[in-house]
């Protein structure tokens, strides 16, 4: 993700959207110089919506939102070889939450079954993030420092039994704080060798509190006899990494990389005696890549790389062990990147094989004692796949883009027996495809007609290891049509115009075999959008 930097000249831009569900989105951005060699950029985004997904238990909407996001940046260049960028962001808002619907396997794809709870779930969040990045250019060498601090407070309160009966309520509060520091030294003298080395450190603390109990007459939670869990997790992690690229010939480049991560974690449940656990998570991650520039327009490559997702701790329950291990993936990839017709046609393609050790699988269980969210490891799984990406500009006023991805997933080992062996890995679509078109055509002096349409195909996906709960393939279409000048844009926006329904969240077998929790995606919505960029001295 590359965010826009502050600009040397003043820029003002904005965007306003009105849509169904009394939805309003507004974005305003201001950027420009403060003094010589100091520029700023600031933006404010506000969103408010009553929502469009009904809750038949409260006669409200489950997907309401009210949130404001502020972002700011300063770019400072005190000398020619020193570059400093300071960033800050703040989010304050509330959203509808816990919008799940109890359904059977036979009802899983029936979206006429709407959420029906007597408590309207609310997710309140306050997020702060600050970072400072500095680069010192020493001719062939560059020294980089990146410092960051993040603070996220989240509070969810909602129905505990996901029904209109006043039975159970749940309260979930998470407070996460993290400090990061990274140093890098890179070398590039425009010769055959380029390299980078660095170190990373993170100090993180997460407080995760949940309460589950009987609902009070006023829609609150009775703490007498409630299930209380309060996990406090601390983590101190560090990493050393390096990468070097060498031009064997003018056309062949070899890249070697190596990274070592170590994450020392501990956790304690403040409501359970003798629950303190410590565990180090570590992984060595090599990378080898060889690329061949066939000509100016075609490049091929072969890559092997290891990646990992750190392990962690589950809440104490009968559904999963306290510790889940690192997920490790060995990725082998062959690919080509190419351009034709003077850049009017781009084609990228790759085939890959990914072997997972201890792939992490998330699931939830709902009981009279609480809703438990757990992660387990599947010892061995694999993915064989292919990806193709195409972009074409047959005419100056028409841009076409398309992509296709196919994933053949399989569980090789679950528990050392033949149990689930050969099943598809859950929560992975077997096929993803997309196609988009952007068209503009002059209709008056200084005014263009603009049109955008995009289509997405999401193939079938299983939600459970047993491969008994499946969502079939789904198709989604979005459109945007309007007029545009140098100073403003007016457009009609349609999202999910075919009104395709698919799960937004799934708790497979949450209440037991064949009894699931399912959250709906947003239905078709229409709205209007106005953009007003302005650039001046």
What is the distance of C-alpha 22 from the center of its chain?
A: 27
Can you tell me which residue has the tokens 């995606």?
521
* 79 burial via Cβ count (<10 Å: 0-12, 13-18, 19+): exposed
Residues 6 or more apart in contact with residue 22 via CB below 8 angstroms = 48, 49, 50
- What pLDDT, on the 0 to 100 scale, is given for residue 534? 59
Three-class secondary structure assignment of 112-171: CCCCCCCCCCEEEEEEEEEEEEEEEEECCEEEEEEEEEEEEEEEEEEECCCCCCCCEEEE
The Cα-based distances of 206 to 134, 148, 269, 344, 414 in angstroms read 28, 17, 12, 49, 30
For range 89-108, the mean pLDDT: 95
Q: What is the DSSP string of 339-385?
A: EEGGGTEEEEEEEEEEEEEEEEEEEEEEETTEEEEEEEEEEEEEEEE
3-state secondary structure of 175: strand
456-491 pLDDT, tens digit each: 999 999 999 999 999 999 999 999 999 999 889 999
Count of Cβ atoms closer than 10 Å to residue 320 Cβ = 19
Residue range 380-391: mean pLDDT, rounded:
98
Helix (H), strand (E) counts: the chain: 0, 32
DSSP-derived 3-state class of residue 34: strand
Residues whose CB is less than 8 angstroms from the CB of residue 222 and which lie 6 or more positions away in sequence, other chains included: 213, 214, 215, 216
Contact 170, 193 (CB under 8 A): no
Residue 277 contacts residue 313 (beta carbons within 8 Å): yes
Cβ-based neighbours of 29, under 8 Å, separated by 6 or more: 11, 12, 13, 14, 41, 42, 43
Residue 269 contacts residue 231 (beta carbons within 8 Å): yes
Answer whether 31's CB lies under 8 Å from 3's CB: no
3-state helix, strand, coil in the chain (%, to 5): 0, 70, 30
Look up residue 537 and give its DSSP letter: -
- Is the CB of residue 381 less than 8 Å from the CB of residue 425? yes
Residues 381 and 410 sit within 8 Å (Cβ to Cβ): yes
Q: What is the pLDDT of residues 183-239, one digit of tens each?
A: 999 999 999 999 999 999 999 999 999 999 999 999 999 999 999 999 999 999 999
How far apart are alpha carbons 282 and 296 in whole angstroms?
A: 41
Task: In whole angstroms, give the CA distance from residue 116 to residue 138.
Answer: 63
Q: Is the pLDDT of residue 156 over 60?
A: yes
Terminal C-alpha separation, the chain:
29
The secondary structure of residue 419, as a DSSP letter, is T
Q: Can you give the pLDDT at residue 537?
A: 43
Mean local confidence (pLDDT), 254-275: 97
pLDDT at 124 over 80: yes
Tokens representing 431?
């096929």
Residue 536 has pLDDT above 80, yes or no: no
Strands 23-35 and 11-19 come out as antiparallel
Q: Rounded to 5 degrees, what angle do the CA atoms 487, 492, 498 make?
A: 150
Instruction: Determine the average pLDDT of the residues in 19-47.
Output: 96
Task: Give the whole-angstrom CA distance, residue 459 versus residue 537.
Answer: 50
Residue 1: predicted pLDDT: 67
303 CB neighbour count, 10 Å cutoff: 17
Closest to 210 in 3D by CA, of 224, 233, 229: 229
Q: How far is CA 102 from the centre of its chain?
A: 26
Burial class (CB in 10 A: 0-12, 13-18, 19+), 529: middle
Distance CA 373, CA 364 (A): 4
Beta bridge partners of 512: 515
Closest CA to 112 of 381, 377, 423, 501: 501
How high is the pLDDT of residue 533?
A: 74
pTM over 0.85: yes
Q: Which residues of 40-60 are buried (b: 16+ CB within 10 A; e: fewer)?
A: bbbbebbbbbebbbebebbeb
What distance lies between CA 424 and its chain's CA centroid?
23
Nearest-angstrom CA–CA distance, 348 and 402 = 11
Q: What is the mean pLDDT of residues 52-64?
A: 95
Cα–Cα dist 383/352, whole Å: 8
Would you place residue 535 in the very low, low, confident or very high pLDDT band (cuts 50, 70, 90)? low
Strand partners, 319: none
Q: What is the pLDDT, as a whole number, of residue 2?
A: 73
Neighbours of 112 (CB within 10 A): 6
Mean pLDDT of 383-392: 98
Could you tell me which of 99, 158, 165, 215 has the C-alpha nearest to residue 517? 99
């Amino acid at each position: 993700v590359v965010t826009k930097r502050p600009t040397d000249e003043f820029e003002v831009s904005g965007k306003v959207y009105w849509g169904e569900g009394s939805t309003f989105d507004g974005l305003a951005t201001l950027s420009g110089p403060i003094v010589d060699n100091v520029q700023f950029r600031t933006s404010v985004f506000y969103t408010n919506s009553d929502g469009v997904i009904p809750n038949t238990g409260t006669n409200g909407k489950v997907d309401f939102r009210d949130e404001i996001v502020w972002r700011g940046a300063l770019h400072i260049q005190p000398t020619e070889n020193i570059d400093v960028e300071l960033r800050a962001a703040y989010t304050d808002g509330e959203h509808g939450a816990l919008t799940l619907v109890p359904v059977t396997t036979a009802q899983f794809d029936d979206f006429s079954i709407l959420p029906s709870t007597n408590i309207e779930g609310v997710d309140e969040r306050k997020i702060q993030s600050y970072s400072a990045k500095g680069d010192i250019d020493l001719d062939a060498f560059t020294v980089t420092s990146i410092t960051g601090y993040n603070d996220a407070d989240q509070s969810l309160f909602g129905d505990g039994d996901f029904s209109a009966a006043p039975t159970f309520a749940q309260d979930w509060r998470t407070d996460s704080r993290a400090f990061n520091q990274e140093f890098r030294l890179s070398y590039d003298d425009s010769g055959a060798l380029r390299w980078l080395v660095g170190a990373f450190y993170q100090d993180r603390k997460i407080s995760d509190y949940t309460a589950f109990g009987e609902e009070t007459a006023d829609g609150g939670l009775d703490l007498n006899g409630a299930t209380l869990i309060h996990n406090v997790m601390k983590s101190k992690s560090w990493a050393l990494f390096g990468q070097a690229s060498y031009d064997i010939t003018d056309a062949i480049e070899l890249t070697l990389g190596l990274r070592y991560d170590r994450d020392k974690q501990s956790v304690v449940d403040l409501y359970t005696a003798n629950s303190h656990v410590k565990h180090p998570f570590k992984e060595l991650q090599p990378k080898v890549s060889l690329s061949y520039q066939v000509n100016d327009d075609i490049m091929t490559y072969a890559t092997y790389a290891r990646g990992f997702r750190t392990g962690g701790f589950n809440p104490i329950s009968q559904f999963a062990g306290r510790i889940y291990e690192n997920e490790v993936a060995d990725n082998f990839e062959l690919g080509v990147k190419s351009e034709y017709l003077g850049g009017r046609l781009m084609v990228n393609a790759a085939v890959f094989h990914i072997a997972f050790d201890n792939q992490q699988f998330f699931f939830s269980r709902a009981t009279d004692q609480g809703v438990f969210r757990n992660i387990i490891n599947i010892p061995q799984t694999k993915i064989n796949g292919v990806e193709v990406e195409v972009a074409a500009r047959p005419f100056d006023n028409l841009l076409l883009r398309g992509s296709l991805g196919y994933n053949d997933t399989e569980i090789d080992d679950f528990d050392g027996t033949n149990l689930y062996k050969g099943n598809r890995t859950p929560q992975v679509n077997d096929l993803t495809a997309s196609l988009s078109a952007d068209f503009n055509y002059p209709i008056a002096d200084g005014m263009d007609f603009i049109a955008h349409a995009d289509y997405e195909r999401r193939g079938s996906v299983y939600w459970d290891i047993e491969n008994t709960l499946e969502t079939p393939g789904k198709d989604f279409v979005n459109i945007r049509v309007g007029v545009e000048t140098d100073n403003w844009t007016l457009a009609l926006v349609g999202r999910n115009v075919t009104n395709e329904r698919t799960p937004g969240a799934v708790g497979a077998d949450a209440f037991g075999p064949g009894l699931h929790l399912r959250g709906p995606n947003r239905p078709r919505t229409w709205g209007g959008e106005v953009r007003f960029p302005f650039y001046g001295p």
